[in-house]
Structure 1
Amino acid sequence: MQAPSFSAEAFAALPFMALLGVRREFSQGGRARLVVDMRPELLNPTDSMHGGVVATLVDVVMASAAVSRVDFRQTAVTLNLNTSYLQPGHGRLTADGEVLSVDDDGAVVQCQACVTDAQGRVVARSVGSFRYLDFRAPAGAPSL
């Protein structure tokens, strides 16, 4: 029996991403891109995108790249995330993530991400490690 698959569409429709207004442009072959538009409820006191939004972008874009590498047959949970904030983000933020390597057991994947603002300036860079886990639908959830 084949393990259940968490489709790319379902992965893109996570409620937290919808709450933030994050949109997936693509997630395939170990690469992914997410975008989010600046709006008042996502700003910090300096009228730039809140660092928590940026951290969420890098975390999710790297996990998206990781799960796309295995055709969404597994999910990926964050083990470690190291983010450097380089300057304030304004306007639409674009996060690009990619898989760098996978351990010998195929269980842990290393990824990197870069977030740029509407003017193409680098807002943040991040590296992270993620563990692949089998997808298990929550009790009572419809089959994907």
Structure 2
Amino acid sequence: MADQMDRRNAYARVPFTRMMGVERAYSEGGRARLLIDARPELQNVIGAVHGGVILTMLDVVMASAAVSLVDFTKTAVTLNLNTSFLRPGLGRIVADGIALDTNDGVVSCAAEARDASGELVASALGSFRYLPLPPSEN
């Protein structure tokens, strides 16, 4: 069980997501949720969370949903990511992802990001390929 918990939090060992301060609320059964606070270094010129931060959250939350389907025994790399930005994201951003379908090692996912007021900030569709975990992660 400890090994599964370590694998479940593997994204937290990625320097980029660690630097961003991404928090995982859950990742199980093909669904995941991540959170991030709008610290000044993550904001754009108008004080909203930078679009690149939101895009990264959508990418990571979809990959987290995908690997939860295989009990975190594999990793998932992005093949395609299509994002629509709808409005500036203010305050804490919550990203929810879901794995929609798997076919021949490729997972199709969807995600949404909402701001502190619950407004939809961005949505995304992505496809991810399962790969073996690095030897240190097995």
Structure 2-normalised TM-score? Answer: 0.92
State the AA in 2 paired with 1:80: N
Corresponding residue for residue 110 of structure 1:
108
Aligned equivalent of 1:135, options 130, 133, 136: 133
Corresponding residue for residue 11 of structure 1:
11
CA distance change for structure 1 residues 11 and 42 in 2, over 3 Å: closer, same or farther? closer
Q: Distance in 2 between matches of 1:32 and 1:12?
A: 14
Q: How does 1:56-67 map to 2 (within 5 A)?
A: 56-67=56-67
Report the structure number with the largest CA radius of gyration. Answer: 1
Question: SS where residue 116 of structure 2 aligns?
Answer: coil
How far residue 119 of structure 1 moved from its aligned partner, in angstroms, is 0.2
> Over residues 27-67 of structure 1, what are the superposed CA-to-partner deviations in whole Å (9 max), with x where a residue is unaligned?
01100000000011001111110000000000000000000
Retained in 1: the 8 A contact 2:96–2:113? yes
How far residue 84 of structure 1 moved from its aligned partner, in angstroms, is 0.1
Question: SS where residue 7 of structure 1 aligns?
Answer: helix
Matched residues, percent identical? 54
Structure 1-normalised TM-score? Answer: 0.88
Runs of 4+ in 1 over 4 A off after TM superposition: none
Q: Distance in 1 between matches of 2:62 and 2:7?
A: 17
Considering fraction of residues, name the structure with more helix.
2
Unaligned 5+ segments in structure 1 are none
Tell me whether 1:71 sits opposite 2:76 in the alignment. no
Unaligned 5+ segments in structure 2 are none
Question: SS where residue 56 of structure 1 aligns?
Answer: helix
Q: Distance in 2 between matches of 1:97 and 1:21?
A: 18
Q: Distance in 1 between matches of 2:21 and 2:7?
A: 20
State the AA in 2 paired with 1:36: I
Count of aligned pairs: 135
Retained in 1: the 8 A contact 2:85–2:122? yes
State the AA in 2 paired with 1:58: L
Q: Distance in 2 between matches of 1:9 and 1:123?
A: 25
State the AA in 2 paired with 1:11: Y
C-alpha RMSD over aligned residues: 1.7
Q: Distance in 1 between matches of 2:40 and 2:11?
A: 26
Corresponding residue for residue 28 of structure 2:
28
